[in-house]
Amino acid sequence: MVKKREIGDKSEKKKSRWGWIFGAILVVLLATAVASSRSINKISLFNHQHNQACNCADSRKYTGIVEDCCCDYETVDSLNDEVLNPLLQELVTIPFFRYFKVKLWCDCPFWPDDGMCRLRDCSVCECEENEFPEIFKKPGRISSQDLVCQEGKPQATVDRTLDRKAFRGWVEIDNPWTSDDETDNAEMTYVNLQLNPERYTGYTGPSARRIWDAIYTENCPRYPSGEFCKEKKVLYKLISGLHSSISIHIAADYLLDEAANVWGQNFQLMYDRVLQYPDRVRNLYFTYLFVLRAVTKAADYLEQAEYITGNPTEDLKTKSLMKQLLYNPKLQAACPIPFDEAKLWQGQSGPELKQQIQKQFRNISALMDCVGCEKCRLWGKLQVLGLGTALKILFSVDGQDHVDQHLQLQRNEVIALGNLLNRLSESVKLVRQMGPSAEKIMEGQVFAHADHTSTWRRIWTSLSKLRWESDKQIM
């Protein structure tokens, strides 16, 4: 009987010790979880509130020559900060570059209509009849009860407000690199880009992924190193760089609180979509230099172009800004040829390869009609046209010295080219401004996770020690 009672007492003591141990562990775990959560939230809140004041201009994560280009990262950053970005930011606000002619309704040639946007003017209120010139007017109107798309996101709709100033048209010829019929004015409308900034619209999920999947898998497959020729590699990098730029602008102007309509910077989104993949950042720089090369190559043509909007003061300012951009001495001295297009399309297969890639890019252009968000479609069409215009300038003149004698650009192409260069310039700037903060936030979360894991290890070690001592005492 004594032995049974001793065994029972030992068992009760053992249960009591384990109950106390597990209770202590539970308290420690709860405290650790709360502390970790507060730490992460504090980091995110601090960066959200104070990032604007943080000067991260000295961050040099990317150095050396930009791959396949003739300029290094340090020079690009310096020129962009000192010269290009300030000029471009001012240029795109000028009336000439403010209005873009575009087809905004859905007419997807690749898959059946999925109900995302069935109507030509869905969810957009048209301007009053007397608000814009006769030549801008469209036949027919859409009733308000039919405005039923954009996935229920009001921020995805386009503001079509125009001023009263008309501007003279240029030549209207189709771009061989893009799919839209630019001569079909009855099917197009003018949009004020300043009233429709590129930012978050709520367009996510399968519909958005299907667009990019089609672009990459059908037209621009990912390549293992050295597998494809350099021309196809250039096409991939251009699309990747454009994709990165779009993601950066979404993250930089994000709807943080839909109920309170609070907009700001989403550092985690920028890290998740761009910064954690160095190739995507490199491709952004490549695309920027590629488009910059197209602009500088067409300098003679762009200098002599008619930037007429009916506002003489603004038109003179446009010409002045264009000259400053095209003939900037710092740019000419530091990076005279950002990209060397003469290295492409060499050999007997060159012309055939150019036609093949031109067809692929036209397919990418046509895919913009499948985008189920009106504002995304607007900026997708504009930037793809801008990229198609850069391809047209670099590869449709056969490398002649006097490009202005052979090149013909329509007004819409110049508008798209200027706005695309500004978008890429802004993305490069945002990478330097937001990048360090975004990476610190992610490092903080990783540290908090590692600290949490370390706490678990310490608890488990203590638990094992207590169990050993408890068993030893009971024994």
Is 199 annotated for ligand binding? yes
3-state helix, strand, coil in the chain (%, to 5): 65, 5, 35
How far apart are alpha carbons 364 and 215 in whole angstroms? 6
115 token code pair = 């109900």
Angle at Cα 470 formed by Cα 464 and Cα 472, nearest 5°? 105
* Residue 264, beta-bridge partner list: 254
Instruction: Provide the Cα torsion 344, 346, 349, 350; round to 10°.
Output: 50
pLDDT in tens, 46-100: 333 333 333 444 446 788 999 989 899 999 999 999 999 999 999 999 989 998 8
Average pLDDT of the chain is: 75
Whether 373 is a known active-site residue: answer yes
Identity of the residue numbered 455: T
**What φ, ψ does residue 263 adopt, rounded to 5°?**
-110, 150
Beta strands in 302-449 (DSSP E): none
**b/e 426-465 (16+ beta carbons within 10 angstroms → b):** bbbbbbbbbbbbbbbbbebbeebeeeeeebeeebeeeeee
Residues of the chain predicted below pLDDT 50: 2, 35-59, 115-150, 164-167, 169, 223-225, 399-405, 447, 449, 474-475
Look at residue 428 in the predicted model and tell me its pLDDT.
97
Give the list of residues 6+ apart from residue 209 with CB closer than 8 angstroms, or none.
none
How far apart are alpha carbons 264 and 50 in whole angstroms? 12
How far apart are alpha carbons 373 and 151 in whole angstroms? 8
Is 243 annotated for ligand binding? yes
Element holding 99 (H helix, E strand): strand 99-102
Strands 99-102 and 262-264 turn out to be unpaired
Percentage of the chain lying above the pLDDT 90 cut:
35
How far apart are alpha carbons 455 and 447 in whole angstroms? 12
27 token code pair = 């308290």
Give the list of residues 6+ apart from residue 371 with CB closer than 8 angstroms, or none.
203, 208, 211, 377, 380
pTM: 0.75
What's the chain's Rg over C-alpha atoms? Answer: 29
Residue 308 per-residue DSSP state: -
Whether 220 is a known active-site residue: answer no
Is 212 annotated for ligand binding? yes
Look at residue 347 in the predicted model and tell me its pLDDT.
75
160 token code pair = 């079509």
Residue 268, judged by CB atoms within 10 A of its CB (0-12, 13-18, 19+), counts as: middle
